Structure 1
Amino acid sequence: MIELSLANATPVSADDMPAVPGEGELHLWRWTIDDLQDRWLEQLDANERARHQRLATPDLRQRFLASHGGQRQLLAGYLGCEPGDVVFNDEPKGKPFLPGRPFEFNLSHSGDESVLVIGKQPVGVDVERHRSVSNLRRLAGKHFTDNEQMDVIALDDDGALGYFLQIWTRKEAAVKVTGLGLGASVRTLELIAVTSDFCKFELPSQWNTDLEVCWLADLTMSTNSYGAVATAFEPSVVRCFAWAESPR
């Protein structure tokens, strides 16, 4: 069984960056807003700075900077360049990728926590902090399969909330690995059987994606977070990292 614990990730310093993942290898990185450096703002590109400025509150802007600025530090470490020199292109539905696609990556953040996943083939990740969800059962009725809805109905409020957030991260990760964005109907994908080890799932034919299957697993997060990761390949090696110190 592959260990997928970001709660006990290996601390790695900026001077000790691993090599780009090989075939079948997956890297997961976790960091928090405490790692934020002021200089990260000037390293963002024009599009990132515009998104940063559009956010309504200082807290939201700080979280965005911590997440996207941190992503730049890590990608630069793999690429061997300066963080401000990392260039992003976008797929038709908005998923970013690197020119020449030396590797694939995906970012998620929720609250003060960020997670980046890196692999040789398409990847997706989603994290959600534990929080109240308005109209939870109505949302489940719209986005969950019949069996998933039955599970929600059978649980008390606290249990239903945790179940909803975990299923939601699985669906988001699956959508993100395809790059489909909001156009994918997650109600057609049942993900009850996902565990902390990778499971293979057929993706709905209605999604009209070149990717027919993906591998999904839950992430072991902190006690206040939920997470899931999806890949276009069956991982044979997973390495989980946390920053021992702030990157450049």
Structure 2
Amino acid sequence: MTVATRAMTPSTTGTHPELLEPTALTGLLDVPALAGGAGGPDVRIWTLDTATVPSAELDEARAWFDAEEQEQASAYVRAELRHAYEVAHAAARRVLGAVTGQDPEAVTWGRHDCPGCGEPHGRPRVEGADVEFSLAHTPGLVLVAVADHPVGVDVERHPDPAELTGLLGVLHPDEVSEVEQASDPADAVRRFTRAWTRTEAYLKGVGIGLGRDPQTDYLGTAAIPEREIDGWLVRDVRAPEGFGAAVATRPR
């Protein structure tokens, strides 16, 4: 199969780029600190360990959800996926409420138009506020990224090495080769997670998500914290052991 590709180039923003450092949220009910621009000069990133959220806090935060969030949460069959979704949306409401000067329950979600079809199911947005954000969650970890320009963020738990072969089909063919050339199973898992989180963050930032074949875009598997692709800067975000994360931004 021939795949038309977009290739990344090494970033020229710094000689020795580092992993972006997110700010850890202390909980769902505490107003997050907004000063300092944690993450990078053009994006702020908050993270939350889902296991640290007390049940009483999440119970209170569920009252912030709109009807669509309540319906989506109830649709999850697996409790760990439902928990991650609820913590993520509560965290997003807390962060975006603080950023826009609203109570969490007053935040109204919307969508930008999709760049592929023009329908309103592109990047998420906060209605009535000039702010861009992206949300990512997996059992164990949540990331919320906020910027004044388009942004996409992703976080993934490292897959089981035994399952890796069945997952490689989502990557660009060159990334598949790089994973297959890994020195050991642990290295292969890290390479896969780097490529996949970078791709997801980029496609979420573009606003088309998996509406475009993820095999199209080459983001690479090497431990190079920054890369550029089609005007976007894609950077790796520091995450706990066993997770990978990335953020993509594009100045207006």
Q: How does the TM-score come out when normalised to structure 1? A: 0.78
**How many corresponding residue pairs?**
220
**Counterpart in 1 of 2:21?**
5
Is contact 1:71–1:116 with CA below 8 Å preserved after alignment? yes
Structure 1 residue 93 displacement after superposition: 2.9
Secondary structure at the residue paired with 2:87?
helix
**Counterpart in 2 of 1:174?**
202
The answer to whether structure 1 residue 149 and structure 2 residue 176 are counterparts is: yes
With CA pairs under 8 Å and 6+ residues apart, which has the higher RCO, 1 or 2? 1
Distance 2:240 2:87 in 1: 18
**Counterpart in 1 of 2:4?**
none
Structure 1 residue 26 displacement after superposition: 1.0
Secondary structure at the residue paired with 1:71?
helix
Distance 2:219 2:206 in 1: 16
**Counterpart in 1 of 2:138?**
110
Q: What do residues 166-209 of structure 1 show as CA deviations (whole Å, max 9, x unaligned)?
A: 1100000010001102211221211127756432212xxxxxxx
**Counterpart in 1 of 2:160?**
132
Identity, in percent, stands at 26
Q: Which amino acid aligns with 2:236?
A: D
The answer to whether structure 1 residue 226 and structure 2 residue 244 are counterparts is: yes
Change (3 A) 1:154 1:197: closer
**Counterpart in 1 of 2:67?**
46
The answer to whether structure 1 residue 67 and structure 2 residue 83 are counterparts is: no
Distance 1:197 1:160 in 2: 17
**Counterpart in 2 of 1:241?**
none
**Counterpart in 1 of 2:117?**
none
**Counterpart in 1 of 2:125?**
97
After superposition, the CA RMSD in angstroms is 2.7
Unaligned stretches of 5+ in structure 2?
1-16, 113-119
Distance 2:72 2:31 in 1: 30
Q: What do residues 42-78 of structure 1 show as CA deviations (whole Å, max 9, x unaligned)?
A: 1100000000111113333222211111111111111
Unaligned stretches of 5+ in structure 1?
203-212, 235-248
Distance 2:201 2:166 in 1: 21
